[in-house]
A and B are shown apart, each in its own frame.
Chain A
Amino acid sequence: MSTLEAVITSIQRLSATSRDLSALHDVLKGANDSLRTNSDLQLTTLDQLDPSKHSLGYLYLLDVLSCGPVSDVVPLIARFINGCDAAQIRLASEKFVSICKRLKDKVLELRDPLRGVAPLLAAVRKVQVSNKRLTALHPDCLQLCLLAKCYKAGFSILSDDILEVDLPRDFYLYCYYGGMICIGLKRFQKALELLYNVVTAPMHVVNAIALEAYKKYILVTLIHSGQFSVSLPKCASTAAKSNFKTLCTTYVEVGNCYNNGMISELEAVVVANSSEFEKDKNLGLVKQAVSSLYKRNILRLTQKYLTLSLQDIANMVQLANAKEAEMHVLQMIQDGQIHALINQKDGMVRFLEDPEQYKTSEMIEIMDSVIQRTIGLSKNLIAMDESLSCDPLYLGKVGRERQRYDFGDDFDTVPQKFSM
C-alpha cells in the first residue's frame, strides 16, 4: 500500500526536470517488481497522474496494468500515446514499445486495425530518436496500415530515409511491408527500392521474409522496368544468390517468359501456376505484370515508328482489336509513359518526341536539388568511412588479419598496437 502511494508521490514530485527524471527512473526500476504483485494497482490509480506531465511514471504503471486483464485497454493506451511527452518515454523506450505492441495485438484481436493506425503513427514519431533511425515500432505500424488498407498513412512514415538500424528483423519487416504499401499506392519505384534493400541485405541463411520479398521484387521489376535478369545484384549475400532462385522457380519462369515478350506464353504460365500465386497472395500483382507487358511492347513500337495505325498496333502487340489498342495507348498517354496523338478519323497514332527541353527554371531547380542531395550523401559516406577507421573492433580485426612481416609497406594502415 505504502509503496504504491510512495511511488505515486515520487512520480508527481520528480517529473519536472531531467535530473529528477533520472532519479525517478531509478526509483521506478527498483519498484517495478513490487508493483507487479501489488493488488492495489487499479485503473483508478492512474487517474491521479497526468499522462503528459508524468509520462514516465504513467508508462510504468500502464505497463503493469495492461499485462493483466483490463477492459478497454485500447482507448487507454491510445490516449496515453497521444498525450505523452516524447522526451520522457524515450528513457524507457522498451517499455513503450511493448505497450504499443500490446495495443496492436489487442486491435488485431478485435479485428479493427483502423483503430490502431493513428495511435501507432503518433507512437513512431515520438519514440524515434532521429529521422534516420529505424525503431521496432515501424513494422508494426506498417502492418496495421496494410491490414486497415490506409496506405497513405503508412506512406508518410516511408518517406523518411532510414540509415541506421537496430535489429535486422525489424528492418526486413519494415522494408517488406513498406514495399507492399508502395505497391498498393502504385509507387513502384519506391517499392522497388525497399524490396531491393531486403533482397540484398546481408544474411547468412535464407530468411523467409527476404524470400517473399524476392518474389514480389521480381514482379515489381517486371511492372516497373520491363526487364528481368535471373541473377541477383552483385551485392546480395551468397546465401541469397545460391538459394533464392531454386526456391522461387515459378516466378523466375514468369520473368523469363516476360523477357521473351510473348503474351500468350506468359498468360499460359500464369494460368498454370495460379494456385501457387494465390497462396502467396501475389495473383493481383502477377496480373498487373501481364498487363504491363502490353505496355512494354507498345513502348518498343514508339522507337521504330512515327505513325502507326491502331489496327497495326493491335496486330503487333497481339491485342484483340483496335479498340483495345486505343484504350491501352490512351492509358499510357495519361500516365505519361509515351507522348502521342491519336487521330480517330484515320485510326492512326502519331508518336511524338519527349517535349521536355530541359530549359525551364523548374528543371534547373530539380537538377540543383539532385546535386545537393548527392553532395549530402557523399558527405555521409565519407563520415561513415572515417568513423569506421577509428572503430576499435574493426581495427582489431584488420590488425589480426594483417601479415606478420610486411616488407615493402611504406606505412602501416593499422597502428601497431592492434596487431596480435
Chain B
Amino acid sequence: MERDEETSGPMMEMCTNGGGEEKSNRRPIISGEPLDIEAYATLYKGRTKIMRLLFIASHCGGNQTMQLEALRMAYDEIKKGENTQLFRDVVNRINGRLGDKYMMDSAWCEAVDRRAEQKKGRLENELSSYRTNLIKESIRMGHNDFGDFYYACGLLNDAFKNYVRTRDYCTTAKHIIHMCMNAILVSIEMGQFSHVSSYVNKAEQNPETLDPIVAAKLRCASGLAHLELKKYKLAARKFLDVSPELGNSYNEVIAPQDVATYGGLCALASFDRSELKAFIYPNKIFHILLIDNINFRDFLELVPEVRELINDFYSSRYASCLEYLGSLRANLLLDIHLHDHVDTLYDQIRKKALIQYTLPFVSVDLSRMADAFKTSVSGLEKELEALITDNQIQARIDSHNKILYARHADQRNATFQKVLQMGNEFDRDVRSMLLRANLLKHEYHARASRNH
C-alpha cells in the first residue's frame, strides 16, 4: 500500500528534509516538523477550529509567521460565523500586522449584532408561544434553537443552560442523546470537564444500544475528560475503545489524529508492559482488546511517529524513542488539550524507560546507560537516586566505579528485624496502656470517693 511505503521508509528522512511545503495530505500532520497550520486547521470545524488557532497564536513563542498565519485563518473563520466578541479579540491581536484586508470591520460587527438581536427576539416570541401551547416537542426545539443561537454568538453559559432545559421536554431516547451531545460540546468548550463526564454517563445509560458513531464520540469525550483530570490510564483506555468508524465525524471536538496521539501517549505513560503488549501485538487470548486494537492501529497509521515511538519503547530502543518524543514536543505543546500535560506525560514515560532498562540486569554500567538515554552520568545518577528513593528501582549505586547494582532485600533478615521491633513496640505500648488505665482508675476512684 502506498501508505505503508510512505511510513515504513526511514522516518529520519522526513525529519532531516525539514520544512518542505508540500501540501500532500498523506503526510502526517502531527510530526516532528514545524506545524503546518493550514493542514492542521482543516482537521477541525466550528468553534474548536477557532479556539485551536487562537491557542496556537498565543503559544507559538516568538514565531511571528506562525502566529500571523494562525491569526489570519482565525479571522477568516470567525467572519464566517456570528461571534462578534471573538472577532474583536482577533482584530486586537492582529493589530494591523496583516494589512488592510484584516482590519476591524465595524460595519460587519454591527450588522451581525443587529441580526442577532432580531433573531433573539424572534426566538423568544416563538418560545413563549410554544410555551402557552404546551407542545412538548416544540418547546424542546425552541430551547434547542436558543442553545444553538447562544453557542454561535459565543455566550456559552446561556447555551449550556438552554440545552439543559430541554431535558424536561425530551420524550425519546434520541432526544436525550441529542441533548447530552450538545451539553458535552458546550462543556468541553467551557473547559468544565466534570459536566462532560456526567453527561457522558447519562448518555451511556440509555437503554437502547447506541449508534456506533455516537458511542465513539462519547468515548472520545470521556477520554478528554479523564485526560484533563490527569487520570491517564483511564483516558488511554477510553481512547483505545474508540472505533475507527468515528472518522471525521467529531471534528467539532477532536480529530482522529488526536485520538491516536492522546491515546498513544497516555498508554505509554501509564500502562504496564503486558497491557502495552496487548495494545501493540494483539493476541487471540485478549479477545476484547483484539478487536479494538486492530481499530486503534488504524488510528496510529495517522500519526506514524507516535506508532514508531511506542514500538521503540517496547523493543527497548530508548534513545530513538526519546528522540521522537523530543521532536514531537514542540507541536504537542501547541495542542489545546495536551498542553498542560505534555511535561507530566514525558516525565512519566522517561521514568518508565529508566526502570524498564534496569529491570533485567544484576549490574549496569552507568556510562553506557547514560549514552542510551542521551544524558550525562551525573544527571543520570540524580535521576536514579530519585527513583530509588521512591522505591521504584531496587538497586544501589556504586558511585566510585559508576555501576548500578541490583539489590534484593534479604527477606529473612528483614523479617527477623521486623519481629524484634514489633515485640519491643508491643512491650512499650502495653506498659503505657496499663499505666494509663491505672491513672484513670485512680482518678475515678478519687472522684467516686469524693462523691460518697
Contact = CB atoms under 8 A, between A and B. Distances in A.
A161 B444 CA distance: 23
Given A306-B396, A307-B400, A374-B427, A168 B443 contact: yes
Nearest to A385: B437
B448 interface: yes
B436 A305 contact: no
A366 B420 contact: yes
A367 B420 contact: yes
Nearest to B402: A307
A370 B398 contact: no
A171 B444 CA distance: 16
A348 to B, nearest CB: 5
Contacts of B441: 388, 391
A166 interface: yes
B106 interface: no
Interface in B49-75: none
A308 interface: yes
A314 to B, nearest CB: 13
Nearest to A162: B435
Interface in B430-446: 430-445
Interface in B385-428: 385, 388-389, 396-401, 405, 410, 412-413, 416-417, 419-420, 423-424, 426-428
A377 B448 CA distance: 29
Contacts of A388: 437, 441
A306 B388 CA distance: 12
A367 B417 CA distance: 11
B430 A304 contact: no
Interface residues of A, number: 49
A163 B420 contact: no
B436 A235 contact: yes
A370 B424 contact: yes
Contact of A306 (B398, B410, B413): B398
Nearest to A392: B448
A349 to B, nearest CB: 9
Nearest to B384: A304
Contact of A305 (B397, B426, B427): B397
Contacts of B424: 370
A272 interface: no
Contacts of B438: 163-165
B399 A305 contact: yes
A166 B423 contact: no
Contact of B389 (A164, A304, A307, A309): A304
Contact of B413 (A171, A197, A346, A358): A358
A304 B442 contact: no
A307 B431 contact: no
A183 B385 CA distance: 35
Interface string A369-380: 011011001101
Given A201-B439, A358-B416, A309 B432 contact: no
A362 interface: no
B444 A393 contact: yes
Contact of A304 (B388, B410, B413, B433): B388
B436 A201 contact: yes
A204 B399 CA distance: 56
A200 B435 CA distance: 10
A391 B431 CA distance: 21
B427 A307 contact: no
A161 B405 CA distance: 47
Contacts of B427: 370, 373-374, 377
Contacts of B442: 165-166, 168
Nearest 9 A/B pairs, CB to CB: A358-B416, A307-B400, A306-B398, A370-B423, A306-B396, A308-B399, A377-B430, A304-B388, A305-B397
Given A202-B439, A348-B400, 19 more contacts: A163-B431, A165-B439, A193-B432, A196-B432, A197-B432, A197-B436, A300-B389, A305-B398, A306-B405, A350-B400, A351-B396, A358-B416, A370-B420, A370-B423, A370-B427, A374-B426, A380-B430, A381-B430, A381-B433
18 contacts: A163-B434, A168-B443, A171-B435, A200-B432, A201-B435, A202-B443, A304-B389, A304-B396, A306-B405, A312-B399, A358-B412, A370-B423, A370-B427, A374-B427, A377-B426, A380-B434, A381-B430, A391-B441
